[in-house]
């Protein structure tokens, strides 16, 4: 019988993860089944327990349960502890929680977009779950400087305080500073808004990256108009999924063919 995995979230109907994991499984000849589970907003633990009791082997966790998944797991990886959020649960004994969002972003930037993180000054917008999940990985990838900017400055300060050599500020504090990488980890794009960035924010040849995927966003449109190179977050989605697949199955799938298919190529 196939071993069972799922993505749990609310809402989750839009998730591309079942397609991605089915492609990985086919390419690596792994016998798995992967589906979507929409848990009630107050029912993450119950739903995860039920899936596990029914023989489920692991879960991907998406909005709004990543923080609850961190509390749920008995043992967390260093990167999950640093972000205090879990997007991958492995139902080994004891239940293991990891966060693959950061490595997903860094791999998309470096391997798919050929962006040299080591020499860049990076601006990360947002201080929610998505932003917290990638700060550690950006730091480890060797960015020269990392600034976290958020509408609610206190939240950015609380996140930055957990990481070395990371600064926090509000949008109005950015002044004339410019960055080689600007990552949108806010949810502004979901309501067709763009964070209030000053025009000077893009250094020559800068990359603007929106974690939202599958469509153009006001942030990406404004960045393009300012002369920046742009990318959505589809590559991050595929790369974080590949890392989850590796945690569960011990096999590293090739991401390029899946990313091409999702882009309609």
155 is catalytic: no
126 belongs to the binding site for ligand NAP (CB under 6 A): yes
Count of residues near ligand NAP by CB under 6 A: 27
Q: Smallest gap, in angstroms, from Cβ of residue 200 to ligand NAP?
A: 18
Query: E-assigned strands of the chain?
Result: 3-9, 32-38, 58-61, 75-76, 88-90, 96-98, 121-125, 145-149, 166-169, 179-184, 202-210, 229-231
Residue from 45, 167, 187, 251 touching ligand NAP (CB under 6 A): that is 187
150 belongs to the binding site for ligand NAP (CB under 6 A): yes
19 belongs to the binding site for ligand NAP (CB under 6 A): no
Residue from 20, 32, 88, 101 touching ligand NAP (CB under 6 A): that is 101
Q: Given the complex with ligand NAP, which of 73 and 185 has the nearer CB atom?
A: 185
Q: Given the complex with ligand NAP, which of 1 and 13 has the nearer CB atom?
A: 13
Residue from 186, 231, 244, 255 touching ligand NAP (CB under 6 A): that is 186
Q: Are 43 and 86 in contact (CB under 8 A)?
A: no
Residue from 7, 76, 160, 211 touching ligand NAP (CB under 6 A): that is 211
Radius of gyration of the chain measured on its C-alpha atoms: 18
151 belongs to the binding site for ligand NAP (CB under 6 A): yes
Q: Given the complex with ligand NAP, which of 1 and 41 has the nearer CB atom?
A: 41
Q: Smallest gap, in angstroms, from Cβ of residue 204 to ligand NAP?
A: 25
Report the b/e string of 216-226 with b at 16+ CB within 10 A. ebbbbebbeee
Closest CA to 239 of 106, 115, 140, 45: 106
How many C-beta atoms lie closer than 10 Å to residue 193's C-beta?
13
Active-site option among 16, 57, 66, 155: 66
Selected range binding ligand NAP among 11-19, 122-130, 135-143, 245-253, rule: CB under 6 A:
122-130
58-61 and 88-90 strand pairing: antiparallel
236 belongs to the binding site for ligand NAP (CB under 6 A): yes
149 belongs to the binding site for ligand NAP (CB under 6 A): no
How many C-beta atoms lie closer than 10 Å to residue 255's C-beta?
24
147 belongs to the binding site for ligand NAP (CB under 6 A): no
Residue pointed to by tokens 């967390």 = 76
Q: Who contacts 159 (Cβ-Cβ below 8 Å, separation ≥6)?
A: 127, 131, 132, 135, 148, 166, 168
Angle 114-149-120 (CA atoms, 0-180°, nearest 5)? 30
Element (H, E) at 193: none
Selected range binding ligand NAP among 5-13, 53-61, 88-96, 187-195, rule: CB under 6 A:
187-195
> What's the rounded Cα separation, in Å, for the pair 211 and 9?
17
| Residues designated catalytic | 66
Residues making contact with ligand NAP (CB under 6 A): 63, 101, 104, 126-131, 150-152, 155, 185-188, 190, 193, 195, 211-213, 233, 236-237, 240
């Amino acid at each position: 019988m196939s071993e069972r995995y799922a993505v749990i979230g609310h809402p989750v109907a839009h998730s591309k993860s079942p397609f991605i994991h089915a492609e990985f499984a086919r390419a690596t000849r792994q016998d798995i089944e992967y589906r979507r589970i929409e848990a009630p907003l107050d029912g993450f633990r119950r739903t995860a327990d039920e899936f596990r009791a029914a023989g489920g082997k692991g879960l991907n966790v998406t909005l709004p349960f990543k923080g609850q998944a961190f509390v749920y797991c008995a043992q967390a990886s260093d990167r999950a502890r640093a972000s205090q959020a879990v997007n991958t649960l492995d139902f080994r004994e004891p239940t293991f929680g990891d966060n693959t969002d950061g490595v997903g972003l860094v791999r998309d930037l470096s391997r798919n977009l050929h962006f040299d993180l080591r020499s860049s000054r990076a601006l990360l917008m947002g201080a929610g779950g998505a932003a917290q999940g990638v700060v550690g990985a950006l730091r480890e990838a060797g960015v020269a400087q990392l600034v976290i900017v958020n509408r609610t400055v206190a939240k950015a300060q609380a996140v930055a305080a957990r990481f070395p050599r990371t600064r926090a500020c509000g949008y109005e504090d950015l002044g004339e500073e410019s960055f080689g990488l600007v990552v949108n980890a806010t949810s502004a794009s979901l309501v067709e808004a763009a964070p209030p960035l000053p025009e000077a924010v893009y250094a020559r040849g800068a990359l603007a990256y929106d974690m939202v995927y599958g469509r153009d966003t006001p942030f990406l449109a404004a960045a393009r108009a300012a002369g920046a190179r742009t990318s959505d977050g589809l590559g991050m989605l595929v790369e974080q999924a590949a890392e989850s697949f590796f945690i569960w199955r011990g096999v590293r799938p090739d991401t390029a063919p899946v990313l091409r298919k999702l882009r309609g190529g």
